[in-house]
Structure 1
Amino acid sequence: MIVTEYELRANWHKNKETLIILPPGSVITPSARDFIRSKGIDVQIEGNGLQDLHKTTFSSAAQSLSRGYQPKPTEESKSHQGTQAQTTATNMTTGTNALARTKTIVSTTPMAAPPTPAGVKPEHMTHLRAGELVTKTHPVIAYRGQLDLFQGDLVEAQCYFQQAGEETLIQHLEEISALCRQLMVSEVKQEPFQWSTLLGLSPEELRERSHHPKKYFGIDHTPLSYTHGPIVARLHRLRAKSREVELYANRAFTDEKGECSRTDLIQALNRLSSAFYILACEVRSRMTQEGQNQAKKETQRESQQDSLKEAPVKRVAVGISNRHIHLSKTDLEALFGASYTLTVQKELSQPGQFAAEETVSLIGPKGRLEKVRVLGPVRKNTQVEISVTDCFKLGVKPVIRDSGQHEGTPGLKIEGPAGTVELTSGVIVASRHIHLHPEDAREWCLKDGDRICVKVESPRPITYEDVLIRVSDQYQKELHLDLDEANAALIEATSQGILLGV
């Protein structure tokens, strides 16, 4: 049998016996030998009398002889053995009477398995600490196993939270894992466990918040429910496991009198349970808020839809703006000659605007565009309006701008029949916009500079956002889109835009 310090100490405190009787083949662990010496306890192996505590394995004489060579007995040895047998019988009788008067504290049931050789650690035992063997059922060993299992649960939960996109929870569990590792180190090295905060909260703050979730998270103490979702359920599972580890710690470090030798570990494990409850409350609070926000948005959307149904539909014609250029007076003369004036090809939808017969070539780092139409009349500054596709072909950066806003825009080379112009800025992808007369703007409760959404009715309907409102007494009602935007919606000549949320 294996004799451990834990078993000796537990039994010795009951009766304070001074004699322990063990069966042959018993193994006494090093820590058990130290305890026996410190208490002045005598050890007797059945049939062999008192033993030398410097040994770790004790066997009867008969067992020792049976394992070696036995010579044939001579007459002299037979006579000696007879005398020895008689003496042994007398001693055993005396020992039996002594055992009758002394209550043993260790079971004398012999082991079924053969004894372990001296100096070899039995498989069913492990080191509690260096030089201290205990059975694997020792309470401290059981506590360590539960702490290991708990850390595995933490890693598994982190993998789950990663799939759920809960990066903040992953970081919180990483902090908790580090605390658990330090708990293990402090216990094994028998060092005090010191910590100041967890999740940014002191031990007192953890306890306070876990006890008053309504105050800190806006939710009540409620039983766990499937309606809380899988994230909260996983956090409560970790909380239950941390409490189980705390129970194992109490068994390991609390004696029969209720005195605990490692209150530092117990306190940390207790606050760990509070931390998981706080995390679960935070998730529930966030989910509740998100649900309320979503419900509010749905209500607003339904209200807007109802108002749109009630209000008259605001429709606008769609005009497609192909690539073109507006020239300044100076650049017009540089490209076409001194005192040159544009020739009107056709009037445009906007009053006073026309497409000229003149065209130019646009040259960029990667290519060129031929026969780009000039629009009149001339302007203060030259402005090139092209699509994103055109920008890619020319090799210039596509920059979206309202008309006239040239800051931060690229330039290119303009080639005309009489010369070229190196434009340093003014190449834009024009913002989608609606031209309105002041009377139309007042009727629709819009003003210059507003931005709205417009849904275009076409074989491929599209809703355009961030549509600029431009108001002038020189305008008439029309939505302008560039060629890329129009092609994306398969806009036809009869297509119209419907203003939304106005």
Structure 2
Amino acid sequence: MIISEHVLRANWHKTKSNTITIPQGSIITPSARDFLRSQAIQVQYEGETVLKAEPEKTPTAAGRMLSTNQGNAASRASAGEASHPKPEHMTHLRGKQLILKTHPVIAWRGQLDRFGCDLVETQTLLVKAGETKFAAQLEEVALRAQQLMVAEVRELPIEFGTLFGWTADEIRDMSHHPDKYFGIPHTPMSYQDGWIVARLNSLRSKIREVELYANRAFTADDGSCSRPDIILLLNRLSSLFYVLLCQRRSEQREKRILPIGISNRHLHLSQNHLELLFGAGYSLKKRKELSQPGQFAAEETVTLAGPKGNIENVRVLGPVRPETQVEVSVTDCFHLGIEPELRDSGQIAGTSGVELIGLAGTVRLDHGAIVAARHIHLHSDQAKKWNLRDGQRVTVRVESQRPALFQNVLVRVSKEFKGELHLDTDEANAALVKPDTECIIVEV
């Protein structure tokens, strides 16, 4: 029989006796021996006289007492310094303290490791989903879990301090009153909350399990706790994850959702080029209004001619602009035989040229053909509400049957604009965008 510290404490606390009797041949682990010495408890093997727990004696696997020199040799052997290896069913708690692997503290450490794995996996998934800022914030929790392990192993105290800028009391209050802080009541989780909320709840459940194992490891039968600092930290970590998921659910009620406009190939003409293509004094004829106020699709179309091929019936958009700009997809560039140049609208210097063929003439452009960078149009009021500014770059997630994440999306703000994400046909097709598909700004 192996007498571990945990078993010894559990039995001794029932009687608080100065003598404890154990079966012949029992193994007393080093940590259990330390406990006997600290409490001045005498050991008696069944059928033998009382043995004092003297410092100079060390128990062997058979329960016999060794001399001081023999005890030191046994300690060295348990630490791998002699030829006799440590039993595989035992491990070291701290230093040379040999205990069973089923010891509550070892079980707790394993649960804390498992939580760390789950947390890193969640961070990895967040990064893949474009939630890099949130993933980085959770690194604070990962670091605190590592500090927790070190504090326990080295028997050092650990202070709570703050997490995410909140004290232990603040986290507790927020977790008890989400309606007060986030405007949402205590409600069951739902698949409609999304996978991030589900992940946060999973981490919350896991850290609560770690807390349960900690209570088993550090709380005695009489209710006394040797590590209340660890218990407090674990409890507030559980509350923190609940606060974070409530915060996320609250934010989702005010999602930054936008419709998607698919920008097919088109061109904007200067007045000079319009007249060269369609005749002197020519004016564009409006075919239909576009989603952006003041913009329209014209009746007029042209043919684009490149080194490798032509594209006919390319729509002209109005009104006229100071400079001519041709907007095509990467696939169109391959067909025309020109170099794809990804640019923000208006940034046409140094771009590829193409020939324009109209009803009355042709125009040979030496530059002006671009692949328009994905961008968002926002009304100034909407931008203010969402705390966005003109020229900012954001990440958006397209909510479709084939969800896609688009990064480095330019935000363009004007009181003349209507909120909309603009993608070209290649991007829209890749994400299976349909007329009713929406996107969400997920990172600023």
Q: TM-score range by the shorter chain?
A: 0.5 to 0.7
- Aligned counterpart for 1:229 among listed residues 160, 175, 194: 194
1:161 maps onto 2:164 in alignment: no
Does the aligned pair in 2 maintain the 1:143–1:252 contact within 8 Å?
Answer: yes
- Please say which structure displays the higher CA radius of gyration: 1
**Alignment partner, residue 139 of structure 2:** 174
Does the aligned pair in 2 maintain the 1:384–1:428 contact within 8 Å?
Answer: no
**What is the rounded CA distance, in whole Å, between the counterparts of 1:384 and 1:166 in structure 2?**
39
1:162 to 1:260, Cα distance in 2 relative to 1, 3 A: same
Tell me the matched-pair count.
286
Deviation at 1:140, TM superposition (A): 1.6
Does the aligned pair in 2 maintain the 1:43–1:50 contact within 8 Å?
Answer: yes
Deviation at 1:15, TM superposition (A): 2.8
1:342-357 maps to which residues of 2 (within 5 A)? 348-350=279-281
Structure 2: which 5+ residue stretches go unaligned?
65-81, 262-267, 283-321, 328-332, 351-365, 370-411, 413-444
**Alignment partner, residue 275 of structure 1:** 240
1:194-232 Cα shifts (integer Å, max 9, x gaps): 242212222222223222323332322211112212221
**Alignment partner, residue 217 of structure 2:** 252
1:476-487 maps to which residues of 2 (within 5 A)? none
Q: CA RMSD in A?
A: 4.8
**What is the rounded CA distance, in whole Å, between the counterparts of 1:17 and 1:429 in structure 2?**
94
**Alignment partner, residue 28 of structure 2:** 28
- Aligned counterpart for 2:155 among listed residues 190, 202, 206: 190
1:350 to 1:130, Cα distance in 2 relative to 1, 3 A: same
Deviation at 1:24, TM superposition (A): 3.9
1:387 to 1:40, Cα distance in 2 relative to 1, 3 A: closer
1:277 to 1:400, Cα distance in 2 relative to 1, 3 A: closer
**Alignment partner, residue 12 of structure 1:** 12
Deviation at 1:266, TM superposition (A): 1.5
Alignment partner of 2:232: what SS? Answer: helix
Letter in 2 for 1:228: D
Alignment partner of 2:223: what SS? Answer: coil
Does the aligned pair in 2 maintain the 1:400–1:429 contact within 8 Å?
Answer: no
1:68-83 maps to which residues of 2 (within 5 A)? none
1:57 maps onto 2:64 in alignment: no
Deviation at 1:25, TM superposition (A): 3.0
**What is the rounded CA distance, in whole Å, between the counterparts of 2:240 and 2:38 in structure 1?**
44
Deviation at 1:273, TM superposition (A): 1.3
Does the aligned pair in 2 maintain the 1:325–1:384 contact within 8 Å?
Answer: no
1:361-387 Cα shifts (integer Å, max 9, x gaps): xxxxxxxxxxxxxxxxxxxxxx99898
Structure 1: which 5+ residue stretches go unaligned?
62-116, 302-317, 327-346, 352-382, 403-407, 411-426, 431-465, 467-502
**Alignment partner, residue 397 of structure 2:** none
Alignment partner of 1:290: what SS? Answer: coil
Letter in 1 for 2:253: T
Structure 2 length-normalised TM: 0.52
Letter in 1 for 2:11: N
- Write 1 or 2 for the structure with the bigger share of helix: 1
1:18 to 1:186, Cα distance in 2 relative to 1, 3 A: closer
Structure 1 length-normalised TM: 0.47
**Alignment partner, residue 354 of structure 1:** none
1:195 to 1:255, Cα distance in 2 relative to 1, 3 A: same
1:24 to 1:177, Cα distance in 2 relative to 1, 3 A: same
Alignment partner of 1:129: what SS? Answer: coil
Identity of aligned residues (%): 47
1:77-98 Cα shifts (integer Å, max 9, x gaps): xxxxxxxxxxxxxxxxxxxxxx
**What is the rounded CA distance, in whole Å, between the counterparts of 1:211 and 1:51 in structure 2?**
54
**What is the rounded CA distance, in whole Å, between the counterparts of 2:83 and 2:20 in structure 1?**
20
**Alignment partner, residue 139 of structure 1:** 104
